[in-house]
Structure 1
Amino acid sequence: MTDDTAADSESAEEPELGSEMADHRTEMSSILGDAYRGELDRETTWRSRLDQTTTWGVTVVAAILTFAFSSPDNPHYIILVGILAVSLFLLIEARRYRDYDVYRSRVRLFQQNLLANALDPSAGVEHEDWRSKLSQDYRTPTLKVASWEATANRLRRIYLPLLAVLLVAWLFRITAFAPNESPLTTASIAVVPGVLVVAVIALYYVALSMIVLWPQDREAKGEFREGDPNEWKESN
């Protein structure tokens, strides 16, 4: 048998391998169990990456505040540098959160439709076509959460409090440390007038508040939500 013939024979058999496994319940249960453990491990890995970014943000905030208030001669705009750095961490974490949600959504499909049904078969499955959905996701993996939602999620949970602390610290720095000067004068940076600096900071925080408060349907899977579980269950 030539190499081309052998390759054609193997390719003809390969498409049937999956369907043969699906007909054997024991083998299929083993495959699904291994797949669940694999997806859970990937979810845990990306969860740890989210925690790493958060740790960087908290460390930077602590270092910036320590330096800014260690001496009256230290410039106030070092806190603005901290705001910029934390905002960068926010964008990094939002991107990581989108990747994390890919694996979290798969884990939730297993939990909602396989594990939950095994524990209580009378309740049925959450999604009748969950195996088709999981198969399609394995064939064509896609990000399921928009950048807007990911940013709002991380802001709401972690970064808005950090940025609020930096804002309060900056306002205190330009007022209490220069009581004989106008805050608008103290807020100036080199040739940039204080009015412009304050306006930019104000607009930035208004934009952050709008991102957090803007109503929208959430696409992220497996989020802990308050209220009646039937309400958000229907929304999904």
Structure 2
Amino acid sequence: MDPAQVRAHGNVTNALIHLYRAEVGKMTAYRQRLDITTNWSVVTTTGLASFALGNPANSHVTFLFAMFLNYYFLRLEARRFRTYDVARQRVRMMEQHFYPDMLELGGDGAWHQALLAELARPRSGMGRYHALGWRLNRNYLWLYAAVLLAWLAKLDLGLPAGAPSVWALVDAAAIGRLSGAAVMTVVGSFYAALVGLGLWAAWHFPLEEG
């Protein structure tokens, strides 16, 4: 290898090292942003639950609003997770190929073409619904379960003393002219969709997050 090739090889190596450090830094930053979004959801849910349960006069609709806000945070977190996944793919690519090449352990010599294609057109390997389902499985199904239990407790606390029937609890979920049965149907369908999405994502995209 002549001096020009040595210099070129050294420049390529330095560029890849800097790229690796940058992508690891991006992974770390977006991992922190994921945690921040989850914290927003937890704090918001706790605050709304305290408000709704703290005074019998406060409406149970507060918990329905918490469900809506959590879905907003979930979508935001899923979008951030897809950006995190782009950096994660690049880091894994360099760990699997660049360092074996450097250590002469038989890496794939054509891997740099895949990296160039990825840099030219960055794209996450997971779809939007995969990301939503994955974040549901990691955090949000638990948050939604807590909101659901707190909502049912709020409805139960608002019933007259005695042993209320299930139908009385359903009737208590009414919102204005919207019947309790309709509200329960909408909430039940929403929760069924969330659980189904989580199961579907876990089955079709069993990602191991580092």
TM-score range, shorter chain: 0.7 to 0.9
Partner residue, 1:157? 138
Instruction: Give 1:163 deviation, angstroms.
Output: 0.6
Question: What's the secondary structure of 2:126's corresponding residue?
Answer: coil
1:184 corresponds to which residue? Answer: 170
How far apart are residue 176 of structure 1 and its match? 3.2
Q: CA deviation at 1:25?
A: 2.6
Are residues 217 and 72 of structure 1, via their aligned partners in 2, closer, same or farther at CA, if it must alter by over 3 Å?
A: same
**Cα distance between partner residues in 2 of 1:193 and 1:140:** 50
Post-superposition CA distance 1:153-184 (Å, at most 9, x none): 10000111001100011111111331446112
Residue in 2 that maps onto 1:78: 62
Do residues 66 (structure 1) and 50 (structure 2) align? Answer: yes
Q: 4+ residue runs of structure 1 moved beyond 6 angstroms?
A: 20-23
The answer to which of 129-138 and 85-94 deviates more is 129-138
Greater C-alpha radius of gyration = 1
Matched, 1:136 2:117: yes
TM-score, with length taken from structure 2:
0.86
User: Which residue matches 2:149?
Assistant: 168
CA distance in 1 between partners of 2:194 and 2:68 (Å): 13
User: Is the 2:90–2:115 Cα contact (8 Å) retained in structure 1?
Assistant: yes
Q: Give how far 1:217 is off.
A: 3.1
- TM-score norm. by structure 1 comes to 0.77
What's the secondary structure of 2:204's corresponding residue? coil
* CA distance 1:116–1:188, shift in 2 (3 Å): farther
Gapped runs of 5+ residues in structure 1?
1-19, 225-236
Kindly state the Cα deviation for residue 60 of structure 1 after the two structures are TM-superposed.
Answer: 0.5
Aligned residue for 2:199?
A: 213
CA displacement at 1:107 relative to structure 2: 1.0
- Residues in 2 aligned to 1:141 and 1:110: alpha-carbon distance in whole angstroms: 15
Q: Distance in 2 between matches of 1:138 and 1:219?
A: 25
Letter in 1 for 2:43: T
Tell me which residue corresponds to 1:34.
Answer: 18
1:12 equivalent in structure 2? none
**C-alpha distance in structure 2 between counterparts of 1:178 and 1:21, whole Å:** 81
C-alpha separation in 2, matches of 1:217 and 1:130:
26
SS of 1:223 mapped into structure 2? coil
1:22 CA displacement: 8.8
Shift of 1:110: 1.3
Structure 1 residues 75 and 129: alpha-carbon distance in aligned structure 2, compared to 1, 3 A threshold: same
Matches within 5 A, 1:112-131: 112-115=96-99, 122=105, 124-125=106-107, 129-131=110-112
Residues 33 and 193 of structure 1, relative CA distance in 2, 3 Å threshold: same
The answer to whether the Cα contact below 8 Å between 2:174 and 2:180 also exists between their aligned partners in 1 is yes
- RMSD value, Cα: 2.3
Given the superposition, is the C-alpha separation of residues 62 and 117 from structure 1 closer, same or farther in structure 2, using an over 3 Å criterion?
Answer: farther
* Equivalent residues in 2 for 1:19-30, closer than 5 Å: 24-30=8-14
Taking structure 1 as reference, are residues 21 and 72 closer, same or farther at Cα in structure 2, changes over 3 Å only? farther
1:44 aligns with 2:31: no
Partners in 2 of 1:116 and 1:176 — Cα distance?
63
Contact 1:152 1:211 in 2 (8 A): yes
